[in-house]
Amino acid sequence: MQAIDTIEGKAYPLGRPNIDTDIIIPAHWLKTVTREGLGKGAFETIRAEPGNVFDDERYKGAPILIAGDNYGCGSSREHAAWAMADMGIRAVIAPGFSDIHAGNAFKNGILTVVLPQEEVDRLMEVAKDHPISIDLEHQTVTTPYQDRFRFEIDPFRKDCLLKGLDEIGITLELDAAIAAHEAKAHLDTPWVEGAAKAA
Amino acid sequence: MATESKPRTLYEKIWDAHVVSQREDGTALLYIDRHLVHEVTSPQAFDGLRAAGRTVRRPDLTLAVPDHNLPTTARADAQGKPLPIADAQSAEQLSALTRNTAAFGVEFIDALAPEQGIVHVIGPEQGFTLPGTTVVCGDSHTASHGALGALGFGIGTSEVEHVLATQTLLLKRSKSLEVRVDGPLGPGVTPKDVALAIVGALGAGGGAGYVAEYTGSVFREMSIEGRLTVCNMSIEAGARAGLVAPDDKTFAYLKDKPRAPRGADWDKAVAWWRTLATDPGATYDKTIVIDATSIAPLVTWGTSPDDVVSITGIVPDPADLADPARRAAAEKSLAYMGLTPGTRMQDVAVDRIFIGSCTNSRIEDLRAAAAIAQGRHVAANVKQAMVVPGSGLVKRQAEAEGLDRIFIEAGFEWREPGCSMCLAMNPDKVPAGERCASTSNRNFVGRQGPGSRTHLLSPAMAAAAAVTGHLTDVREFA
């Protein structure tokens, strides 16, 4: 995972609530067996709307997306995070995120920033003409107008993002604890084992 | 299975029993007992294992089945030879699952196997899903498995890879949400209506950050299949998981299922499962209470699953919404849906009917739909009415009961099991601008195909819409 420190630049002022992952990447794009190239299908139905933010020259190549509440709801498809990463989005600011999508974004090095609706509204306004800056270390979002909004982030996720850590690598270091849990489960709940035939 | 004096919820008990390691920052390493794998969200995970030289830690806890891409038309010719999949990308994704499961030693239920079906239908049906277990799948409707008192939740592909490699996940414990529904359900009100009522009450994001537990007389009296429908749609309210405490109904359902424990193991398992229910005095972070008598047969009018209205209601007017963002969203929804505020829901004509999906494709769903279809016929304006059983076993059971004949004689198509028209990844799609009465779980823009318009409802209501040609109050058929 690529490490994140600060993300600064233009932001797409999308701002709609309940952007589901079918909107972020429609199902017909899911028939791929790789993670690459999904940016082409990102926000396909929104991009069909005249005057949409994604095709507006002012926001071209923006690394930040500003959205409404419950961003990324619906399907667990990680293709949504891959599509966003492929189109160059490195952070999303919204009043709330779906749990699954926030996790998928995190695993692809995309920072999800939760701010109250009124602060999101303010950033939507500023983003029309100015860049926005996100400082992960200090957990702040700032604008050229001296706006300074602090956000909360899970400390584990913050640490992983700052260092660009691989989660499987972290977990495999706990192999002895996993084996100990399995040994205990073998005694306590033996019926859980062997439910599938190893092929 | 530590005994603790502090009263705990069902969720806390399952969580505590699966913590491998607790980090100081609040993140825990949680052991995963059951991993269901399908073709759409797994290829990149297997590739990740390959690239890092890793193996599948517990093949005996991992079960793979194709469902999303499979056509629901005949899969074999008269000689039993598999028919080719016309869509090249679907065929490639399906063959990747076959190759990957063979290479990594994972059990694979293939497209022609009698047990094949939608991953969330076969888990419970096979007795693979058990109370007190942690169940994951690269699919958000893994919430379904909570109906058996399992902690089931959807994961992304990176997490699929993480579980394949380590049989664990790094997670932070969610907050707990009690959803209590007490009282008798009115005539024509089904588990699907209860699910839609809950989503409507919580809102599409109301359960984000929470794991829901469904309590109250409605769920105690509800069948396991009904509980599966309700838990399935937890995610439509934003809750990653939904749970019902295991009880005698759960144990009766699981007894003698193919992969359920047997003999002394069964007795030991049931004894433990009985201890899982939330302790008296345990507290939830949030509780919502819904009066069962207030729930009518429901339909959705918009493009978010919380856009619910009584079948006797009207298309709402966005002008009545105070919040400008919500108003704009509702206006967009209605434009997409081709609906005018004030229209009676029962006056909305439909083009297609879909009875199926992991929400409503089990035998009780098909019986409820068949009871309406029996002796009637699909209306002339309906272009297609499909019934898609959730699994091969459901299909066989329905055929043994003669339900297939009822549907076929009424003008419905009787299909092979799979995800079908729920999500537009296989040939079953709703064409642009057409309107579908669907027993699935999502009415999102383009969900059933680009430009498709979806009204979510119960199987009985879908059958009623099929025979009248418009959204219909199923109580008129009583």
Q: Does domain B175-246+278-294 have CATH number 3.40.1060.10?
A: yes
The answer to whether B105 contacts A199, with C-beta atoms less than 8 Å apart, is yes
Task: Give Cα B322 to chain centroid, integer Å.
Answer: 33
The answer to whether residues B44 and A36 touch, using CB atoms and an 8 Å cutoff, is no
What's the pTM value of the predicted model, to 2 decimals?
Answer: 0.97
Q: Is B97 on the interface with A (CB under 8 A)?
A: no
The answer to whether residues B36 and B123 touch, using CB atoms and an 8 Å cutoff, is yes
pLDDT surpassing 70 at residue B1: no
What domain range is A94 assigned to? 6-165
The answer to whether residues A97 and A71 touch, using CB atoms and an 8 Å cutoff, is yes
Q: Assign B214 to helix, strand or coil.
A: strand
Structure token pair of residue B462 = 């879908």
The answer to whether A177 contacts B96, with C-beta atoms less than 8 Å apart, is no
What whole-number distance in Å separates Cα of residue B464 and Cα of residue B367? Answer: 13
Domain membership flag for residue A143: yes
Q: What is the pLDDT of residue B117?
A: 98
Q: Which residues of A touch B87 (CB under 8 A)?
A: 31
pLDDT band at B396 (very low <50, low <70, confident <90, very high): very high
Nearest to A45 among B132, B268, B445 (CB): B445
- The CATH number of residue A29's host domain is 3.20.19.10
Q: What is the pLDDT of residue B371?
A: 98
The answer to whether residues B350 and B435 touch, using CB atoms and an 8 Å cutoff, is yes
Q: What is the pLDDT of residue A199?
A: 63
What is the DSSP track for B294-354? GPPPEEE-SSSTT-EEETTSBPPPGGG--SHHHHHHHHHHHHHHT--TT-BGGG-B-SEEE
What whole-number distance in Å separates Cα of residue B445 and Cα of residue B452? Answer: 7
The answer to whether A31 contacts B161, with C-beta atoms less than 8 Å apart, is no
Q: Which residues pair with B242 in a beta bridge?
A: B212
According to DSSP, residue B80 is labeled: S
Least confident of B77-81, B218-222, B307-311: B77-81
Q: Which residues of A touch B276 (CB under 8 A)?
A: none
Question: Which residues lie closer than 8 Å to B92 by C-beta, 6 or more apart?
Answer: A31, A33
Number of A–B residue contacts, CB under 8 Å? 228
What is the DSSP track for chain A? ----SEEEE-EEE---S--BHHHHS-GGGG--SSSSSGGGGTTHHHHTSTT-GGG-GGGTT-SEEE--SSBTBS---THHHHHHHHTT--EEEES-B-HHHHHHHHHTT-EEEE--HHHHHHHHHHHTTS-EEEETTTTEEE-TT--EEE----HHHHHHHHHT--HHHHHHTTHHHHHHHHHHHHHH-GGGTT-S---
pLDDT in tens, B233-256: 999 999 999 999 999 999 999 999
Mean pLDDT value across residues B186-196: 98
Shortest CA gap A186–chain B (Å)? 12
Q: What is the pLDDT of residue B68?
A: 98
Q: What is the pLDDT of residue B89?
A: 96
Nearest to A198 among B29, B69, B107 (CB): B107
What whole-number distance in Å separates Cα of residue A71 and Cα of residue A143? Answer: 22
The answer to whether residues A51 and A77 touch, using CB atoms and an 8 Å cutoff, is no
Considering the domain B298-477 in this protein, what is its CATH number?
Answer: 3.30.499.10
The answer to whether A74 contacts B156, with C-beta atoms less than 8 Å apart, is no
What is the Cα Rg of chain B in Å?
Answer: 22
pLDDT surpassing 80 at residue B257: yes
What whole-number distance in Å separates Cα of residue B165 and Cα of residue B45? Answer: 10
The torsion angle over the Cα atoms of residues B366, B372, B373 and B377, rounded to 10 degrees, is -160
Q: Which residues numbered 79-118 in A keep a CB inside 8 Å of some CB on B?
A: 79, 81, 96-100, 103-104, 107-108
Shortest CA gap B385–chain A (Å)? 22
Better-scored residue on pLDDT, B214 or B4: B214
Shortest CA gap A27–chain B (Å)? 6
Rounded to 5 degrees, what are φ and ψ at B455?
-115, 115
For chain B, the straight-line distance linking the first and the last C-alpha, in angstroms and rounded, comes to 49
pLDDT band at B4 (very low <50, low <70, confident <90, very high): low
Q: Which residues of A touch B238 (CB under 8 A)?
A: 70, 73, 98-99
The number of distinct structural domains making up chain A is 1
Does B298-477 match B10-172+247-269 at the fold level?
yes
Question: Which residues lie closer than 8 Å to A1 by C-beta, 6 or more apart?
Answer: A107, A108, A109, A160, A161, A164, A165, A166
Nearest CA among B245, B306, B279, B289 for reference residue B441: B306
Domain ranges for chain B: 10-172+247-269, 175-246+278-294, 298-477
Task: Give Cα A53 to chain centroid, integer Å.
Answer: 19
Q: What is the pLDDT of residue A4?
A: 87
pLDDT surpassing 80 at residue B478: no
Which residue bears the tokens 């517990």? B58
H or E segment and range at residue B135: strand B134-137
Mutate to test the interface with B, among A106, A171, A187, A188 (most CBs of B within 10 A): A171
Domain membership flag for residue A171: no
Q: Assign B158 to helix, strand or coil.
A: helix
**Average pLDDT for chain B:** 97
Q: What is the pLDDT of residue A169?
A: 87
Mean pLDDT value across residues A121-137: 98
The answer to whether B31 contacts A190, with C-beta atoms less than 8 Å apart, is no
What whole-number distance in Å separates Cα of residue B347 and Cα of residue B435? Answer: 13
One-letter amino acid at B445 equals V
The answer to whether residues B63 and B128 touch, using CB atoms and an 8 Å cutoff, is yes
Which residue bears the tokens 């890793």? B54
Neighbours of B409 (CB within 10 A): 13
The answer to whether B329 contacts A17, with C-beta atoms less than 8 Å apart, is yes
The torsion angle over the Cα atoms of residues B347, B381, B439 and A46, rounded to 10 degrees, is -80
pLDDT in tens, B342-384: 999 999 999 999 999 999 999 999 999 999 999 999 999 999 9
Mean pLDDT value across residues A7-36: 96
Which residue bears the tokens 């893994």? B142
pLDDT in tens, A76-89: 999 999 999 999 99
pLDDT surpassing 60 at residue A96: yes
Q: Is B113 on the interface with A (CB under 8 A)?
A: no
The torsion angle over the Cα atoms of residues A17, B319, B237 and B308, rounded to 10 degrees, is -140
Q: What is the pLDDT of residue B325?
A: 83
Residue of B nearest to A20 (CA): B444
Q: What is the pLDDT of residue B3?
A: 54
The answer to whether A171 contacts B61, with C-beta atoms less than 8 Å apart, is no
pLDDT in tens, B62-95: 999 999 999 999 999 999 999 999 999 999 999 9
Q: Which CATH number fits domain B10-172+247-269: 3.40.1440.10, 3.30.499.10, 1.10.10.60, 3.40.50.300?
A: 3.30.499.10
What whole-number distance in Å separates Cα of residue A199 and Cα of residue B319? Answer: 59
**Average pLDDT for chain A:** 96
Q: Is A156 on the interface with B (CB under 8 A)?
A: yes
pLDDT in tens, B95-133: 999 999 999 999 999 999 999 999 999 999 999 999 999
What whole-number distance in Å separates Cα of residue B98 and Cα of residue B108? Answer: 7
Question: Which residues lie closer than 8 Å to A35 by C-beta, 6 or more apart?
Answer: A82, B44
pLDDT in tens, A141-177: 999 999 999 999 999 999 999 999 888 989 999 999 9
Q: Is A185 on the interface with B (CB under 8 A)?
A: yes
pLDDT above 70 covers a percentage of chain B that reads 99
Cα A41 to Cα A21, A134, A150, distances in angstroms: 12, 26, 33
